[in-house]
């Protein structure tokens, strides 16, 4: 059953570095391991690129102090030295440009490669999980791994990480350059940056608080839209449009309010950072001016000299290069923390226990040779269970479709049993029906046969073999299941039927469709069997979808068939036609039928009446009617199922 998409708030709160899980980071890094060599070059390129930027700022000082100022007092200025230095700078710049081109392009390949691997592993892992896992998660949550979580990861890998690293390198480079110029002024800059960071933290905190509120009201509004759009036809039939609009307006307005507040604080952050940068610029000019005018001795890591104009000019340029990367780091940090939280959710799913399958009995094509069953390579329409034994010998049991339950107990969780002492025998060729109220355990029994769930106590034997010994894939291949809720996949009608058996020919698929009485309506579709179905076969009626899913099961040609309310949306006349076809197909095979309509199950060999997880009556239709028990009451309408 698809659950409503959960679009609740997720990880949008004010983020802190200490929230980062170290294990997750390590694991994420392991995905990068494959690109180790390349990453080394990326790191070198980033460093080169960052240093180029810093050198560019320092160049101004060289230009003014070493060339322009001396030349001003020369009678015949010689420009050749300047020319050489500019050429050299040109060389450095080209190197820097090439480095940044190299690392951005490399990071694209690396991050997309990592994402593809994570995506594929995630999906692959998901396929191996048990039905139980899917029961406990909403589709919306699982989907968001592929959309939100992967997307934040992409942003982090291809943008935030290189940018942050480059910013940090720049900060270090600029800091070094500043120390190289003047200790006094560097100290001043660091003091200023501390104040700036305090301001940033306050504003980011406010913004984060409202982002959480925004996500909450967005989730609320989404839920409302989902409900009302799903029920739109009912809204129209009851002329309820105005009431719905009013409720919508209230939720919509709340979202607007929170969204405005959240964005407002986020928007203010940038101008503040930028203009505080200017303030620093001015303050530095004044401090530098005072130092220069006062002729104060300047100390730097290279020694002491007097404050020069070139030094101040360079320092001012550097200060701008200092504030910018700090602003960038504080902005990107958010993205990184969010991405790592997303990665954690992805890894969490990857760490789920897969469906346990310790079965060793496999299903093989077989043929008879001299009255003995032997394994065949090609498709023989005869199947056998291949049963290897401890002593190395192998026995073959023909696949017949006999199912027996011995005192089976089952519960979805350990402390609550939903099935008690189920014992039943289904001989090959028999039709066994389950009847009972919603929640009586009908579907649960069938889910145990194909091991969607494992029993708590008792034993189930299939052709005399304990089903726990049978490999799950082979067990399921031998069972055809038609469910009440039909799921179709994007693709042609033919593809959807062929889903039952991938190597079925077109003729076999059409044959199966005819058997299911689906051929007629399929031929009416615009492109017949080649009509492409989208959106879960949206254009088809529920009844038509059920016919398709019966055709799908028919093409699979399994020895045991489970029909779970498979014809509930098909009218009785069509149903009886389908039923005739099915009965012909299932001759000599076992069928389990769950149906609400008693007419569907009347001709079963055995009908089991279930109540609260127990079989309370069993027998043929006539037996049960004579018994005058629950079934009789149902049959005469004296008792209702729901």
Partner 1 sequence: MIKTLARSIREYKKSSILTPLFVMLEVLFEVMIPFLMARLIDQGIDAGDMGVILRLGMLLLGAALVALTFGALSGRNAAIASAGFARNLRQDMFYNVQSFSFSNIDKFSTSSIITRLTTDVTNVQNSYQMLLRMAARSPIMLTFSLFAAFSINRRLSLIFLGAMPILAIGLFFIIKNAHPIFRQVFKTYDKLNNVVQENLRGIRVVKAYVREDHERDKFEDISQEIYEKFTKAEKLLAFNMPLIQFCMFGSMLLLSWFGARAIVASGNNPAIGLSTGQLMSLMTYTMQILMSLMMLSFVFVMITISRASAERIVEVLDEETDLRNNDNPVYEVEDGSIEFQNVSFCYSDKADKMALRDVNLKIRSGETIGIIGGTGSSKTSLIQLIPRLYDASRGLVKVGGRDVRDYDIKTLRDQVAVVLQKNVLFSGTIRENLRWGDVNASDDEIRRMAELAQADEFIRDFPDNYDTHIEQGGSNVSGGQKQRLTIARALLKKPKILILDDSTSAVDTRTDAFIKRAFMEEIPATTKLIIAQRVSSVQDADRIIVMDDGEIKAMGTHAELLADSEIYREVYESQVKGGMADA
Considering only residues 152 to 211 of the shown chain, the ones binding partner 1 according to CB under 8 A are 158
Minimum CB separation of residue 75 from partner 1 in Å reads 11
Of these, 161, 221, 408, 548, which contacts partner 1 (CB under 8 A)? 221
For partner 1, the closer CB: 406 or 635: 635
Cβ pair 272, 221 in contact under 8 A: no
Q: Please, which of residues 383-442 interact with partner 1 by CB under 8 A?
A: 438
Regarding 229 and contact with partner 1 (CB under 8 A), the answer is yes
Regarding 2 and contact with partner 1 (CB under 8 A), the answer is yes
Tokens of 443: 């579907």
Regarding 33 and contact with partner 1 (CB under 8 A), the answer is no
Minimum CB separation of residue 624 from partner 1 in Å reads 13
| Closest C-alpha among 18, 20, 16, 12 to residue 343 | 20
For 5-65, list the strands marked E by DSSP. Answer: none
- Which residue matches tokens 């360079």? 314
Backbone angles phi, psi at 238, to 5 degrees: -100, 10
Backbone angles phi, psi at 631, to 5 degrees: -60, -40
Regarding 556 and contact with partner 1 (CB under 8 A), the answer is yes
For partner 1, the closer CB: 93 or 406: 93
| Total residues found in the chain within this entry | 642
Regarding 531 and contact with partner 1 (CB under 8 A), the answer is no
Strand partners of residue 492: 532
Regarding 225 and contact with partner 1 (CB under 8 A), the answer is yes
Positive or negative, the CA dihedral 76, 80, 86, 88 is negative
Q: How far apart are CA 362 and CA 476, in angstroms?
A: 11
Regarding 234 and contact with partner 1 (CB under 8 A), the answer is yes
For partner 1, the closer CB: 395 or 572: 572
Q: Please, which of residues 42-81 interact with partner 1 by CB under 8 A?
A: 56, 59-60, 63-64, 67-69, 71-72, 77, 79
Regarding 116 and contact with partner 1 (CB under 8 A), the answer is yes
Backbone angles phi, psi at 297, to 5 degrees: -65, 130
Cβ pair 453, 131 in contact under 8 A: yes
Tokens of 272: 């503040």
Regarding 279 and contact with partner 1 (CB under 8 A), the answer is yes
Strand partners of residue 424: 405
String marking each residue 589-618 x if it binds partner 1 according to CB under 8 A? -------x--x--xx---------------
SS3 (DSSP) at 434: strand
For partner 1, the closer CB: 454 or 457: 454
Q: Please, which of residues 294-333 interact with partner 1 by CB under 8 A?
A: 309, 312-313, 316-317
Of these, 18, 26, 381, 573, which contacts partner 1 (CB under 8 A)? 573
Element (H, E) at 496: helix 493-498
Regarding 39 and contact with partner 1 (CB under 8 A), the answer is no
Of these, 89, 175, 179, 465, which contacts partner 1 (CB under 8 A)? 89
Tokens of 64: 């003014």
Q: How far apart are CA 549 and CA 554, in angstroms?
A: 9
| Binding span for partner 1 by CB under 8 A among 172-180, 181-189, 221-229, 297-305 | 221-229
Cβ pair 42, 106 in contact under 8 A: yes
Regarding 98 and contact with partner 1 (CB under 8 A), the answer is yes
Regarding 374 and contact with partner 1 (CB under 8 A), the answer is no
């Amino acid at each position: 059953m698809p659950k409503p998409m959960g679009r609740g708030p997720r990880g949008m709160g004010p983020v802190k570095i200490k929230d980062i899980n170290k294990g997750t980071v390590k694991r994420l890094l392991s995905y990068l391991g494959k690109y180790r060599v390349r990453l080394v070059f990326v790191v070198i390129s980033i460093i080169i690129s960052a240093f180029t930027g810093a050198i560019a700022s320092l160049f101004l000082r060289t230009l003014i102090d070493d060339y322009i100022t001396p030349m001003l007092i020369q009678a015949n200025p010689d420009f050749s030295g300047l020319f050489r230095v500019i050429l050299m700078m040109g060389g450095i710049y080209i190197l820097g440009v090439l480095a940044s081109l190299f690392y951005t392009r490399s990071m694209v390949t690396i991050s997309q490669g990592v994402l593809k691997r994570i995506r594929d592993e995630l999906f692959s892992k998901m396929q191996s999980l048990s039905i139980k896992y899917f029961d406990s998660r909403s589709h919306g949550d699982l989907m968001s791994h592929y959309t939100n979580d992967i997307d934040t990861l992409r942003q982090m890998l291809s943008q935030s990480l290189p940018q942050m690293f480059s910013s940090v390198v720049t900060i270090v480079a600029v800091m070094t350059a500043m120390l190289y110029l003047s200790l006094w002024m560097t100290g001043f800059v660091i003091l200023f940056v501390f104040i700036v960071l305090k301001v940033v933290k306050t504003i980011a905190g406010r913004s984060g608080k409202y982002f959480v509120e925004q996500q909450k009201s967005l989730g609320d509004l989404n839920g409302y839209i989902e409900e009302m759009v799903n029920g739109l036809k009912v809204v129209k039939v009851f002329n309820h449009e105005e009431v719905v609009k009013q409720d919508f307006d209230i939720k919509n307005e709340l979202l607007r309010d929170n969204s405005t507040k959240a964005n407002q604080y986020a928007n203010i952050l940038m101008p503040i950072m930028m203009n505080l940068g200017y303030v620093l610029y001015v303050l530095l000019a004044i401090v530098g001016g005072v130092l220069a005018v006062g002729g104060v001795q300047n100390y730097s890591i290279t020694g002491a000299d007097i404050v020069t104009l070139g030094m101040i000019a360079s320092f001012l340029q550097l200060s701008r290069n200092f504030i910018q990367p700090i602003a960038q780091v504080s902005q990107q940090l958010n993205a990184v923390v969010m991405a790592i939280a997303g990665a954690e959710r992805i890894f969490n799913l990857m760490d789920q226990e897969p469906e346990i399958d310790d079965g060793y009995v496999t299903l093989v094509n077989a043929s008879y040779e001299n009255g003995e069953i032997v394994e065949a390579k090609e498709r023989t329409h005869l199947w056998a269970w291949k049963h290897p034994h401890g002593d190395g010998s192998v026995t073959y049991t023909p696949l017949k479709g006999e199912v027996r339950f011995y005192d089976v107990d089952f519960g979805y969780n350990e402390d609550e049993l939903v099935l008690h002492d189920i014992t039943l025998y289904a001989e090959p060729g028999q039709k066994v029906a389950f009847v009972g109220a919603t929640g009586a355990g009908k579907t649960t029994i069938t889910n145990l046969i194909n091991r969607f769930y494992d029993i708590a106590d008792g034993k189930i034997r299939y052709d005399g073999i304990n089903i726990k010994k049978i490999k799950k894939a082979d067990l399921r291949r031998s069972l055809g299941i038609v469910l009440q809720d039909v799921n179709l996949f994007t693709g042609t009608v033919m593809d959807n039927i062929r889903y039952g058996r991938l190597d079925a020919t077109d003729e076999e698929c059409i044959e199966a469709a005819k058997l299911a009485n689906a051929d007629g309506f399929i031929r009416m579709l615009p492109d017949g069997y080649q009509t492409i179905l989208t959106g879960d076969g949206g254009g088809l009626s529920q009844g038509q979808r059920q016919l398709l899913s019966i055709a799908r099961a028919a093409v699979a040609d399994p020895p045991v068939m489970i029909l779970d309310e498979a014809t509930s949306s098909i009218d009785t006349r069509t149903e009886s036609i389908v039923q005739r076809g099915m009965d012909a197909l299932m001759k000599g095979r076992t069928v389990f039928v769950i149906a609400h309509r008693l007419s569907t199950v009347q001709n079963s060999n055995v009908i089991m009446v279930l109540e609260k997880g127990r079989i309370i009556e069993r027998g043929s239709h006539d037996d049960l009617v004579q018994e005058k028990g629950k079934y009789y009451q149902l049959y005469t309408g004296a008792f209702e199922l729901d």
